Chain A
Amino acid sequence: MGQFIQQLINGLTLGSVYGLIALGYTMVYGIIGMINFAHGDIYMVAAIISVTVITLLAALGISAVPLALMVTLLVVMAFTAVYGWSVERVAYRPLRTAPRLAPLISAIGMSIFLQNMVQLTQGARVKPIADMMPGQFNLFTFDGFTVFLSYTQLMIIVVTVILLAIFTYLITRTSFGRQQRACEQDQTMTALLGVNVDRTISLTFMLGAALAAIAGVMVTIYYGVVDFAIGFVAGLKAFTAAVLGGIGSLPGAVLGGLIIGMLESFWSAYYSPEYKDVAGFALLILVLMFRPSGLLGRPEVEKV
């Protein structure tokens, strides 16, 4: 029982991380109908930048959590948004009218480029930081097993919920959201109605990158160790989460992330960590067999 609750908490945290990254995939898919394959690496870049910022702040004597965290988030989001903008400008915009395969390949190229750039400039060694938010709530003890919720875990779960709320509001209630949904429907018509399509798409990429930045900072604080190769696995899992939840749907991304996170956590506890990825992908296949548009996705409507 104690272990069950603990795995639930672990799964929620891991799922929130996947969900955060998946939100970025889903936002970009929403507007251009394509997967941003460099998204996982933007998240990696964010994590690497956050290590630098956190270390710098600590050297300056700023390590009080709220202040250091806010500064880190702002700096990393600013940097990462530029990366997101550049990815769109370099890999997607020139190919906007090309067949769908072309931008996909150029994005994979971007991903490889980012990984190698970080490795060459930052080195291949893992980058550790000291535990920024040590401490935990010991919830209860059951059969000698103390269930805990660390401050970092709580922060990650809360941040995910808040971001989901903010971005849902952004997409459904603001004029930017309206422009974005219009672009999704018909870019030519939207442009004729006076919306700057290029700007809307760029902004979406920057917002997606900012989300990846937040995920990167959270993961850096949670695990304390990052390296230039973390983007691939996390990107793949988050992509799976986005598809599982219904790509294009914000709540779907978080839901998908939570399901994958929970599945991994419980599978490794009660079956074997060896096959947890198999379980995740098998679930994806099962869901897609019965609901091809994902759990919360709407089937593709005929565009008029």
Chain B
Amino acid sequence: MNTLHKKLSVAGACIASILSAQAYADYSVAIAGPMTGAYASAGEQIKRGAEMAIADINAKGGVNGQKLKLEIGDDACDPKQAVSVANAMVNKKIVFMHGHWCSSSTIPASDIYNEAQIPMATVSTNPQVTERGLKNIFRIMGRDDQQGGVAGAYVAKRFAGQKVAVLDDKSAYGKGLADETAKGMQAKGMKPALRESITAGEKDYSGIVSKMKAAGVQVLVYGGYHTEVALILRQAQQAGMKLMVMGGDTLSNNEIVTAAGGNADSVLFTFAPDSRANPAAADVVKRFRAAKVEPDGYVLYAYAAMQLFQQAATTAKSVKYNDLRKALAGGSFNTVVGKMSFDAKGDLKVPAFVVYQWKGNKYEAVK
């Protein structure tokens, strides 16, 4: 009896210490995005970046004396799943969120974070992400209307006189970007010869490829993700077409090189200036490469989001919503992807987009 009592009290003490340890422990910060599903490679980039950033921050003593703990949410780019991830994250009492990745996930999920008063950084580019007046969102990437303007003007200049088709994949990101690029082209006096939408996740695009071939299209402006572009390019090559593609930031994924079967060199895309060349990122880039991770795409952005949190929380000396929000909204931050400060909507004050082209297995800025 006595021993049982002893055992119970020891067990009780253990449980109590675990509970109390959790109550006072580390700050939980979170990332969310497509860890599974067709776009899981982007999720992997975000995860790599955030993990390295958190390891670095913890190695330097954490934030305000607290260690950071990373929570990872998987929405598979599905808005319904994104909402349940958001609710789960709120229950985990996270103090900062970086995500989600697909605009169609970020938009519904951000309402939940806003209600729970959790500040968030995101790379989603659809204008609606920040246009809805939520106070908790900070977008660390440019917007589709800016991106589309740059892309549209470039297409109108470089491919003047050629037939251009505008396609999108019906997603919030893809359709928004395609519409904005078409607007950018029209502003420079170029009209798309075709305007269509396709269904993402299929493998057969021979129908639309033949349609473009019949219409004499030479340039494809595509709003969507790299997986579909790769297939369209392969099928266009089989159909004997030489197709140039202009797309958005997601085409920076190096999977496109192998997936497009030798056609990737005709892919152009707009993306923020290559942060790997950024002097502030040199050390981090070196360590990513030492760990056999090429810090392309969103890797450094995820790293930067965690730096953003660290610097804001340090300035605010707290992670309470109001303090942290005020620090994020009013501050200027030095990150591996450059200096950041935000306007009243939560968009970057100075966004920049550069046009890149794939060459071999690297992308390079084009003039």
Contact = CB atoms under 8 A, between A and B. Distances in A.
B189 interface: no
A119 B210 contact: no
B261 A268 contact: no
A211 B29 CA distance: 48
A234 B255 CA distance: 22
Contact of A233 (B41, B202, B210, B235): B202
Interface string B188-204: 00000000111101111
Given A223-B231, A225-B259, A227-B227, A125 B41 contact: yes
Nearest to A138: B240
Contacts of A177: none
A3 interface: yes
A227 to B, nearest CB: 6
Contacts of B234: 131, 223-225
Contacts of B43: 124
A219 B203 contact: yes
B196 A272 contact: yes
B199 A124 contact: no
B210 A269 contact: yes
B360 to A, nearest CB: 16
A116 B258 CA distance: 23
A124 B44 contact: yes
B238 interface: yes
B206 to A, nearest CB: 4
B214 A264 contact: no
Contacts of B41: 124-126
B133 interface: no
Interface centre among A124, A144, A146, A232 (most CB of B within 10 A): A124
B203 A223 contact: yes
Contacts of A225: 203, 227, 230-231, 234, 259, 261
A128 B214 contact: no
A128 B261 contact: yes
A43 B280 CA distance: 47
Given A128-B258, A273-B208, A234 B203 contact: yes
B207 A273 contact: yes
A274 B198 contact: yes
Interface in A124-160: 124-126, 128, 130-131, 136, 138, 144-146, 148, 150
A276 interface: yes
A287 to B, nearest CB: 22
Interface in B196-240: 196-199, 201-204, 206-208, 210-211, 213-214, 216, 227, 230-231, 234-235, 238-240
Contacts of B208: 268, 273
Contacts of B196: 272-274
Interface residues of A, number: 46
A103 B206 CA distance: 37
B207 A265 contact: yes
Contacts of B330: none
A146 B40 contact: no
Interface string B15-40: 00000000000000000000111101
A126 B255 contact: yes
A13 to B, nearest CB: 7
B102 to A, nearest CB: 15
B227 A10 contact: no
Contact of B261 (A131, A146, A273): A131
Given A3-B211, A268-B211, A13 B206 contact: yes
Contacts of B198: 268, 273-274
B242 interface: no
B214 A2 contact: yes
Q: Could you say which of B38, B43, B210, B231 has the most chain A C-beta atoms within 10 Å of its C-beta?
A: B210
Nearest to A230: B203
Contacts of B238: 136, 148, 150
Given A124-B40, A274-B170, A265 B206 contact: yes
Contacts of A276: 199, 207
7 nearest A-B residue pairs (beta carbon): A124-B40, A268-B207, A3-B214, A10-B206, A274-B197, A128-B258, A6-B210
Interface of A: 2-3, 6-7, 10-11, 13-14, 17, 116, 119, 124-126, 128, 130-131, 136, 138, 144-146, 148, 150, 219, 223-227, 229-230, 232-234, 264-269, 272-274, 276-277
Given A146-B240, A229-B201, 20 more contacts: A6-B213, A7-B210, A11-B207, A13-B206, A116-B36, A124-B35, A124-B41, A128-B261, A131-B261, A148-B240, A224-B261, A225-B227, A225-B231, A229-B37, A268-B198, A268-B208, A274-B170, A274-B196, A274-B197, A274-B199
